């Protein structure tokens, strides 16, 4: 029925099957939309956030998807700036995932703020001292860049490409993509960093405060670094996922191997820096404010010391060691384990930098604050996932996302 | 024109670009954000001219001067009134939030007649004429049936024009059953009657005392006039005046005190005697006062000629530090040290009346505590306790009851006060419910309730409600819906505390006679009338000698005429006080038979010769191994007026969570019972069983459970009703053998994990 | 010339709260709510979403019976100065909806500017900032008690103690109207200070030697909350009890309470 839209020379499932799939995921999406509307119309009392948890599930989801979407800027950076040509085989998918992550992040932010209709004040009444202002500007700009990077792919749709204007536009955009990729990498450096800075500058919150260079706390650099390191893990995870679902190989071995290797080394260097940072914080910064490391890891269900182990050892050292070795990358099970642990590792990092910051009592007579999200929060957090699944499904079906697909499946 | 794809797209892009470049989206965005800044459902308070009205807060018996800020005709803020005797600019949180009562949803808007079951909350609005006519008709029938004495009246006070109008109405009508809600003022007044021989209320010169020994009085928890006590407390801190607090729970007063003596509850009087023992043994007392101005210190002969033991013998024979230590649980060394410290101060003040003083307490305990002041000669002088004469400005001619009334007045009171059993007691409201419940026909056939909420504040609330259900006619003069008004047959809504005139005579504890003026801050609700006016209307409707007893055109007329020359001063300053007042000297102060201060009184014979024992709590220690004690808090109003939303907002989450109340126990006690912080448990007393949550507190004496007064309201108020537990429902009254007044300080209880 | 300089010296309003006098009665909280049109809900027992610009904490010394002790600690916004006015919250607000006034030292909050990102709440270690999770609702008739000097807030924004800034403004207006350039200590007092029946709160210009707080803050028993974080707050507390002074900050096990520095 829609065969005219499907790229030439590739096989896609039947329209009915596709529609059923979209219908199911669409139902989840609608559930999320309903929750979103509740939050907008009735206010944030629909959530389980409170005055202790001003930042909660959403901000974590925001930071996490942006970190995971980091695969886009870093792959772009490697492909266009560093010149790792091999990565052209995964760049489209990386850009698509990045686009989904960043549009989701913006959507979540629009739900998260108490006065969405005034959200634009962040630009209009911008406070240059605020990390969040920097985030907002860079995030919006980088989203525009991602749109520009994603647009030529849309225009390469079989039917759209028949329009000469679109054809030329797409072609010309490809020509200048290096400029956008460079811009994107630059913007990403800042907003990934600023997101780290959001927590790192909170000098009233000893758990998150990490002094650094000039106006930037160490978290600024660590966030950029970790997004670059772990983002590709997410891109690769989703590549493996879509390959499993479609039952086809979509990206060449060489490309995957290269990206995984770079990611592994990035994670390794990052985790060394992270350990050094944690060490300095635990032994110098926090004690100066009267805290020992164990003051931050209470014996409660969520924030025991295990979470630090999970983040650094299980989600950092282990995937790094697997990915930097040839054998690790070649072993499918270990490879999958490593990229999944990587995704978990960075997500945990963002979790503690958002939620544990809120949970730790600072005033000596205060107590640990616990929190569990409401269904509205969960639904609105799943909403972007459903949206992402749909967008990937449609893009995969109608756009030449994987340039190697035909060659690998002939 | 044929629209091809190209032109369609161009058009689309053109329209998008055009709209974006036009001012429309930007204007809309701006408008939307402006709209969020002034949502139509967020109120915008109207501005206007600012003015201040001085009045007196009557939400509790403390009687603090307040200054109410108005903007145009709205009252917007209550503050303490500078220069008012006692509180001088300060105010308590309940008083500060008084506007929430004034403008709140519980204010009653018109006379109501009960249409459903009693207490079901079904009402019919009726006119004032119809309401007054109905009440007059019903109580008129009582007079016709020779039952005039079965009309009762409950109010919060027995002095001032409003209580006097009620008393007058009852006298003219023919009933002796005027009842005041109980408080420690009852026992203190009786103490003064027995020891000083005067009809007076106690005055404490807290400002000049330089050592304060409190037997459980909540000095900073609402005892006396809160504003005044808070100020005095801070002044003590500045002057390094030591406060010693004896009570089983680390209350705020105890925590702030220089010394906390955790004492077995009910043994406070024994501690006082133990201190007296040391003071006498070590000759530390004021010999001039004791030798020349007191009676009963040494052994004496009673009216029959029998030799009686004097205070000195009783105390020295029996109340040795060792003995007292065994009963009170306080180290005997501490008792001796405290006695010496107390006696060493030039103006040591001993006070009692637990918490806010809402329970009268044991007369022997009060006398023992007062004897400590007497031993130090700290009576009627700076820094001491004085007997303050009752207000004397009400000089109305005696009413002239008709024959029906005269005959009827000869009947005994329904509560037993003033009877041969309790000759010195004026009101025994806590005995009334039992009297009604045990009688075939209620000895009270009609009841007026004003400024009181006995169905909430009296102990053993269930018994009270049962008794009230047996009263054929209950007329409530409540301004706001409360538990007692809910039990009424007719509600004649009174004006709220910021809508009415009222004289506020010397509050409990003030040592200078005075009168303050509460006055309308805003124009009153249309459907409500001043309780005085309602009473005048009723008297007029009754006609005859009753109408004659009320010659005034209205309450305001009555008040102005009563105050006479003072009226100008009252309206200008908000109060009239005798600035040069000094209590009588020792040679003229006492009106006992001996004309001296009496350490011992013949009135106290009912307990036998053994002197003072501890007051036991109700309940079998085997079935109820623990003891439940109530406590008072400034953040909860335990009195007739319920908490405001603001006040409830200040209540800690370890006191109230959602609708659940918490009970405090010592962690050790809790651990033995298998409890943990925050668990649910069943609290059972001989009076009932409730579900609570457990809060561990190291400030609790082991074996005790503490819960606050002021929760568990049922009256319709979405901000308060159904929250927590009314402690009064769990504790029954324990009658003092001499006074008959409630001496309960708690009740035996059990706490089991739920 | 010197006098003119004196008058132009920036003010630094602050408080000294005597914790030994504070009785925990809650009058400051209620006075603040009444003065500042703070909304109230049917259930306010969840203290994590209950707006109380002034909150009185109950501190315990963690000793066993009978050595247990209690202290109450009223916590308004600490109006942190940080370094050069960079309080924890002001510098993070992306929309400049909160500001540090160099003239008075007061940290303000512009309700109509705030878009509810709650970053300032995350930044404040004192939990002095509150979010309007709900629309404020006054039962019918009760909106009559609203103070016209303070605008009621709308859903979705952050609010906090303003040191009753409207009182400062009206005092200054009055002074200017009367031809004076400045106000006396007594002319500008916050609602909580005025209401405290124990007289535990002293409010004034910390920079002005004529104001009581100027001397009081130098008392050897004076301390500030979480001084070690560098928030540089303008609320000083006083207590002669060591455990209370120690409870004002975090200390490592081995540390003795820090020696006071002024």
Chain C within 8 Å of B588 (Cβ-Cβ)?
Answer: no
Helix, strand, coil percent values for chain A (each to nearest 5): 75, 0, 25
- The alpha-carbon gap from A287 to the nearest alpha carbon of chain B, in Å, equals 30
In sequence order, which residues have a C-beta less than 8 Å from that of residue B684 and are 6 or more positions away?
Answer: B624, B749, B750, B751, B752
Report which secondary-structure segment, H or E, holds B184.
Answer: helix B184-195
- List chain B residues with CB under 8 Å of C50: 649
Give the closest of C63, C152, C198 to B42, CB-based. Answer: C152
Contact map slice: A 83-102 vs C, CB within 8 A: none
Chain C within 8 Å of A204 (Cβ-Cβ)?
Answer: yes
d(CA A8, CA A16): 20
Chain segment C30-76, per-residue pLDDT in tens: 999 999 999 999 999 999 999 999 999 999 999 999 999 999 999 99
- List chain C residues with CB under 8 Å of A127: 91, 93-96
Q: Which CATH number fits domain B626-753: 3.40.50.980, 2.40.40.20, 3.10.310.30, 3.40.50.620?
A: 2.40.40.20
Report which secondary-structure segment, H or E, holds B555.
Answer: helix B555-563
Give the closest of C45, C62, C146 to B76, CB-based. Answer: C146
Report the neighbours of A using a cutoff of 3 or more CB pairs below 8 angstroms: B, C
- List chain B residues with CB under 8 Å of C29: 93, 646, 649-650
In the prediction, which pLDDT does A257 show? 94
pLDDT at C261 over 80: no
Q: Residue B504 phi/psi, 5° resolution?
A: -120, 95
Q: Does domain A15-398 have CATH number 1.20.1630.10?
A: yes
CB atoms within 10 A of CB B674: 10
d(CA C206, CA C184): 13
- List chain A residues with CB under 8 Å of B37: 118
Task: Give the orientation angle of helix B161-173 with respect to helix B531-542, to 10 degrees.
Answer: 20
In the prediction, which pLDDT does C262 show? 40
In the prediction, which pLDDT does B5 show? 63
- List chain B residues with CB under 8 Å of C200: 234
Chain segment A210-266, per-residue pLDDT in tens: 988 878 899 999 999 999 999 999 999 999 999 999 999 999 999 999 999 999 999
Determine contact, residues C215/B247, Cβ cutoff 8 Å.
no
Higher pLDDT, A113 or C85: A113
Distances (CA, A) of C119 to A35, A53, C94: 23, 10, 8
- CB contact under 8 Å between B87 and C197, yes or no, is yes
What would the two tokens of residue B401 be?
């009851």
Chain segment B187-228, per-residue pLDDT in tens: 999 999 999 999 999 999 999 999 999 999 999 999 999 999
Q: Which residue of C has its CA nearest to B227?
A: C197
Chain C within 8 Å of A42 (Cβ-Cβ)?
Answer: no
The CATH superfamily label for domain B200-389+583-600 reads Dimethylsulfoxide Reductase, domain 2 (3.40.228.10)
d(CA B270, CA A406): 100
- The alpha-carbon gap from A44 to the nearest alpha carbon of chain C, in Å, equals 6
Give the closest of B76, B649, B701 to C40, CB-based. Answer: B649
Cis peptide before A354 (omega within 30 of 0): no
- CB contact under 8 Å between C250 and A291, yes or no, is yes
Determine contact, residues B201/B506, Cβ cutoff 8 Å.
yes
d(CA C79, CA A17): 61
Reported as a pLDDT band with limits 50, 70 and 90, residue C8 is low
Contact map slice: B 498-527 vs C, CB within 8 A: none
Determine contact, residues B222/B634, Cβ cutoff 8 Å.
yes
- Average pLDDT on B414-437 reads 95
Distances (CA, A) of B196 to A87, B188, B588, B593, B687: 103, 11, 10, 10, 38
pLDDT at B6 over 80: no
d(CA A235, CA A255): 12
- The alpha-carbon gap from A118 to the nearest alpha carbon of chain B, in Å, equals 5
Q: Which residue of B has its CA nearest to C62?
A: B698
Q: Residue C73 phi/psi, 5° resolution?
A: -130, 105
- CB contact under 8 Å between B32 and A117, yes or no, is yes
d(CA A330, CA A339): 13
Render B556-598 in DSSP notation, one character per residue.
HHHHHHHHTTHHHHHHHHSEEE-TT--PPPHHHH--STTSSEE
Q: Residue B57 phi/psi, 5° resolution?
A: -80, 130
Q: What 3-state DSSP class applies to B67? A: strand
Class (C level, CATH) for C9-38+45-248: alpha beta
d(CA B647, CA C6): 43
In sequence order, which residues have a C-beta less than 8 Å from that of residue B456 and are 6 or more positions away?
Answer: B482, B483, B484, B640, B642, B713, B715, B726, B728
In the prediction, which pLDDT does B609 show? 44
- Average pLDDT on A382-401 reads 94
Domain residue ranges of chain B, discontinuous segments joined by +:
5-38, 112-184+392-494+525-565, 200-389+583-600, 626-753
Q: Residue B214 phi/psi, 5° resolution?
A: -110, 125
Determine contact, residues A109/A97, Cβ cutoff 8 Å.
no
Domain residue ranges of chain C, discontinuous segments joined by +:
9-38+45-248
Contact map slice: A 122-141 vs C, CB within 8 A: 122, 124-127, 129-133, 136
Domain residue ranges of chain A, discontinuous segments joined by +:
15-398
Q: Which residue of A has its CA nearest to C122?
A: A54
- List chain C residues with CB under 8 Å of A132: 92, 94, 117, 119
- CB contact under 8 Å between C148 and B45, yes or no, is yes
Chain B within 8 Å of C199 (Cβ-Cβ)?
Answer: yes
- Chain centroid to CA C10: how far? 19
Q: Which residue of A has its CA nearest to B32?
A: A117
Contact map slice: B 336-365 vs C, CB within 8 A: none
- CB contact under 8 Å between B231 and C199, yes or no, is yes
In the prediction, which pLDDT does B611 show? 55
* Interface contacts (A, C; CB < 8 Å): 166
Chain segment B547-601, per-residue pLDDT in tens: 999 999 999 999 999 999 999 999 999 999 987 888 999 999 999 989 999 998 8
pLDDT at B607 over 50: no
What would the two tokens of residue A132 be?
């969040």
Q: What 3-state DSSP class applies to C100? A: strand
DSSP β-bridge partners for residue C60: C70
Chain C within 8 Å of A205 (Cβ-Cβ)?
Answer: yes
Reported as a pLDDT band with limits 50, 70 and 90, residue A71 is confident
CB atoms within 10 A of CB C185: 16
- List chain C residues with CB under 8 Å of A126: 94-96
Topology of the domain covering B112-184+392-494+525-565: Rossmann fold (3.40.50)
- The alpha-carbon gap from C181 to the nearest alpha carbon of chain A, in Å, equals 32
What would the two tokens of residue B702 be?
């082991």
């Amino acid at each position: 029925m829609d065969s005219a839209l499907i790229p030439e020379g590739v096989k896609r499932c039947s329209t009915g099957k596709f529609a059923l799939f979209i219908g199911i995921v669409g139902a989840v999406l609608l559930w999320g939309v309903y929750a979103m509307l509740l939050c907008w119309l009735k206010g944030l009392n629909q959530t389980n956030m409170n005055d202790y948890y001003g930042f909660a599930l959403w901000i974590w989801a925001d930071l996490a998807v942006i970190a995971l979407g980091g695969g886009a800027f870093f792959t772009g950076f490697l492909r266009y700036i560093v010149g790792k040509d091999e990565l052209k085989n995964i760049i489209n998918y990386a850009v698509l995932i990045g686009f989904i992550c960043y549009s989701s992040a913006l959507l979540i932010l629009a739900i998260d703020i108490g006065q969405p209709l005034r959200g634009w004040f962040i630009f209009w009444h911008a406070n240059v001292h605020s990390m969040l202002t920097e985030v907002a500007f860079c995030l919006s700009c980088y989203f525009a860049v991602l749109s520009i990077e994603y647009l030529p792919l849309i225009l390469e749709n079989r039917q759209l490409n028949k329009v000469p204007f679109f054809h030329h536009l797409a072609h010309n955009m490809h020509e200048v993509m290096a400029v956008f990729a460079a811009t994107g990498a630059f913007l990403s450096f800042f907003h990934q960093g600023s997101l780290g800075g959001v927590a790192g500058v909170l000098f009233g919150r000893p758990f998150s405060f990490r002094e650094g260079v000039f106006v930037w706390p160490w978290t600024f650099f660590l966030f950029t670094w970790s997004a670059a390191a772990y983002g590709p893990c997410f891109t690769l995870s989703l590549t493996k996922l879509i390959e499993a679902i479609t039952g086809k190989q979509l990206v060449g071995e060489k490309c995957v191997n290269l990206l995984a290797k770079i990611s592994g080394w990035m994670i390794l260097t990052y985790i060394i820096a992270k350990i050094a940072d944690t060490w300095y914080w635990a032994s110098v910064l926090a004690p100066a404010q009267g805290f020992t490391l164990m003051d931050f890891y209470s014996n409660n269900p969520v924030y025991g010391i295990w979470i630090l182990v999970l983040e650094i050892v299980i989600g950092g050292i282990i995937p790094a060691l697997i990915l930097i070795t040839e054998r690790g990358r070649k072993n499918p099970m270990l490879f999958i384990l490593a990229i999944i642990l990587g995704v978990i590792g960075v997500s945990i990092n963002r979790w503690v930098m958002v939620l544990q910051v809120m949970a730790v009592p600072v005033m000596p007579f205060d107590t640990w604050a616990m929190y569990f999200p409401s269904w509205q929060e969960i639904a609105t957090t799943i909403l972007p996932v459903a949206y992402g699944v749909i967008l990937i499904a449609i893009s995969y079906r109608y756009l030449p996302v994987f340039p190697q697909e035909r060659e690998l499946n002939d | 024109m044929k629209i091809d794809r190209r032109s369609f797209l161009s058009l689309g892009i053109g329209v998008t670009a055009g709209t974006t470049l036009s001012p429309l989206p930007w204007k809309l965005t701006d408008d939307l954000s402006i709209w969020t800044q002034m949502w139509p459902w967020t109120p915008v308070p109207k501005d206007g001219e600012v003015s201040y009205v001085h009045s007196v807060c009557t939400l509790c018996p403390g009687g603090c001067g307040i200054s109410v800020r108005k903007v145009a005709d709205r009252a917007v803020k209550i503050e303490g009134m500078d220069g008012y005797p006692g509180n001088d600019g300060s105010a308590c949180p309940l008083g500060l939030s008084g506007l929430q009562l004034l403008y709140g949803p519980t204010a009653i808007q018109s006379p109501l007649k009960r249409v459903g079951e009693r207490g079901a909350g079904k009402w019919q609005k009726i006119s004032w004429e119809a309401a007054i006519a109905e009440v007059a008709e019903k109580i008129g029938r009582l007079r016709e049936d020779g039952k005039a004495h079965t009309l009762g009246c409950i109010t919060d006070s027995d002095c001032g024009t409003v209580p006097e109008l009620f008393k007058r109405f009852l006298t003219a009508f023919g009933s002796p059953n005027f009842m005041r809600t109980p408080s420690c003022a009852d026992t203190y007044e009786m103490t003064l009657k027995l020891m000083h021989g005067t009809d007076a209320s106690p005055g404490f010169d807290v400002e000049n005392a330089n050592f304060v020994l409190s037997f459980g009085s909540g000095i900073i928890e609402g005892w006396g006039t809160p504003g005044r006590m808070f100020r005095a407390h801070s002044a003590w801190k500045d002057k390094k005046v030591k406060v010693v607090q004896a009570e089983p729970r680390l209350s705020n007063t105890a925590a702030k005190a220089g010394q906390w003596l955790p004492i077995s509850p009910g043994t406070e009087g024994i501690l006082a005697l133990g201190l007296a023992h040391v003071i006498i043994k070590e000759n530390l007392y004021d010999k001039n006062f004791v030798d020349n101005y007191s009676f009963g210190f040494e052994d004496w002969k009673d009216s029959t000629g029998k030799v009686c033991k004097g205070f000195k013998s009783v105390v020295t024979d029996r109340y040795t530090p060792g003995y007292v230590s065994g009963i009170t649980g306080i180290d005997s060394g501490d008792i001796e040290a405290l006695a010496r410290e107390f006696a060493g101060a030039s103006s040591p003040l001993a006070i009692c009346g637990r918490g806010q003083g809402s329970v009268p307490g044991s007369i022997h305990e009060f006398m023992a505590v007062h004897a400590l002041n007497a031993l130090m000669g700290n009576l009627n002088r700076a820094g001491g306790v004085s007997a303050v004469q009752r207000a004397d400005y009400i000089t109305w001619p005696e009413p002239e009851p008709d024959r029906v009334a005269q005959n009827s007045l000869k009947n005994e009171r329904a509560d037993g006060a003033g009877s041969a059993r309790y000759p010195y007691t004026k009101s025994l409201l806590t005995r009334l419910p039992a009297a009604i419940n045990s009688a075939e026909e209620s000895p009270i056939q009609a009841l007026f309730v004003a400024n009181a909420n006995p169905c909430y504040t009296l102990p053993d609330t269930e018994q009270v409600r049962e008794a009230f259900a047996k009263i054929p006619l209950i007329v409530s003069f409540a301004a706001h819906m409360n538990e007692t008004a809910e039990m009424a047959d007719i509600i004649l809504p009174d004006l709220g505390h910021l809508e009415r005139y009222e004289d506020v005579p010397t509050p409990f504890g003030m040592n200078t006679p005075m009168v303050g003026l509460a006055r309308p801050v805003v124009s009153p609700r249309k459907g409500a009338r001043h309780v005085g006016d309602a009473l005048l209307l009723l008297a007029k409707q009754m006609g005859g000698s009753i109408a004659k007893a009320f010659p005034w055109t209205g309450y305001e007329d009555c008040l102005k005429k009563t105050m006479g020359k003072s009226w100008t001063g009252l309206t200008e300053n908000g109060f009239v006080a005798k600035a040069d007042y000094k209590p009588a000297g020792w040679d003229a102060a006492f009106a006992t038979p001996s004309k001296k201060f009496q350490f011992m009184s013949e009135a106290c014979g009912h307990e036998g010769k053994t002197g003072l024992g501890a007051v036991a709590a109700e309940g079998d220690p085997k079935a109820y191994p623990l003891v439940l004690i109530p406590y008072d808090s400034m953040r909860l109003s335990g009195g007739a007026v319920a908490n405001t939303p603001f006040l409830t907002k200040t209540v800690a989450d370890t006191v109230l969570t959602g609708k659940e109340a918490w009970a405090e126990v010592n962690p050790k006690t809790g651990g033995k019972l298998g409890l943990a912080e925050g668990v649910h448990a069943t609290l059972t007393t001989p009076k009932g069983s409730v579900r609570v949550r457990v809060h561990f507190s190291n400030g609790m004496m082991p074996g005790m459970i503490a819960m606050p007064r002021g929760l568990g309201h049922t009256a319709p108020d979405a901000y308060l009703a159904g929250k927590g537990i009314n402690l009064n429902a769990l504790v029954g009254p324990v009658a003092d053998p001499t006074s008959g007044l409630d001496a309960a300080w708690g009740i035996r209880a059990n706490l089991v994990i739920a | 010339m010197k006098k003119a300089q004196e008058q132009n010296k920036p003010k630094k309003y602050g408080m000294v709260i005597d914790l030994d006098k504070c009785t925990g009665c809650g009058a400051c909280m209620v006075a603040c709510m009444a003065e500042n049109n703070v909304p109230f809900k049917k259930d306010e027992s969840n203290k994590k979403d209950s707006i109380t610009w002034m909150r009185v904490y109950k501190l315990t010394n963690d000793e066993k019976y009978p050595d247990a002790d209690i202290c109450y600690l009223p916590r308004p916004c600490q109006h942190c100065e940080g370094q050069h006015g960079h309080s924890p919250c002001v510098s993070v607000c992306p929309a400049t909806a909160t500001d540090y006034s160099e003239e008075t030292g007061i940290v303000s909050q512009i309700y109509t500017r705030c878009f509810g990102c709650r970053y300032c709440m995350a930044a404040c270690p004192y939990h002095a900032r509150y979010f309007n999770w709900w629309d404020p609702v006054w039962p019918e008739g009760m909106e009559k008690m609203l103070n016209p000097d303070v605008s009621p807030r709308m859903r979705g924004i952050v609010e906090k103690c303003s040191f009753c800034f409207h009182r400062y403004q009206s005092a200054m207006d009055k002074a200017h109207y009367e031809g004076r350039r400045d106000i006396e200590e007594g002319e500008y007092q916050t609602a909580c200070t005025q209401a405290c029946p124990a007289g535990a709160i002293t409010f004034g210009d910390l920079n002005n030697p004529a104001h009581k707080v100027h001397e009081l803050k130098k008392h050897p028993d004076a301390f500030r909350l979480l001084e070690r974080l560098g928030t540089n707050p303008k609320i000083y507390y006083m207590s002669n009890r060591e455990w209370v002074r120690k409870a004002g900050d975090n200390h490592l096990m081995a540390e003795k309470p820090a020696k006071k520095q002024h």
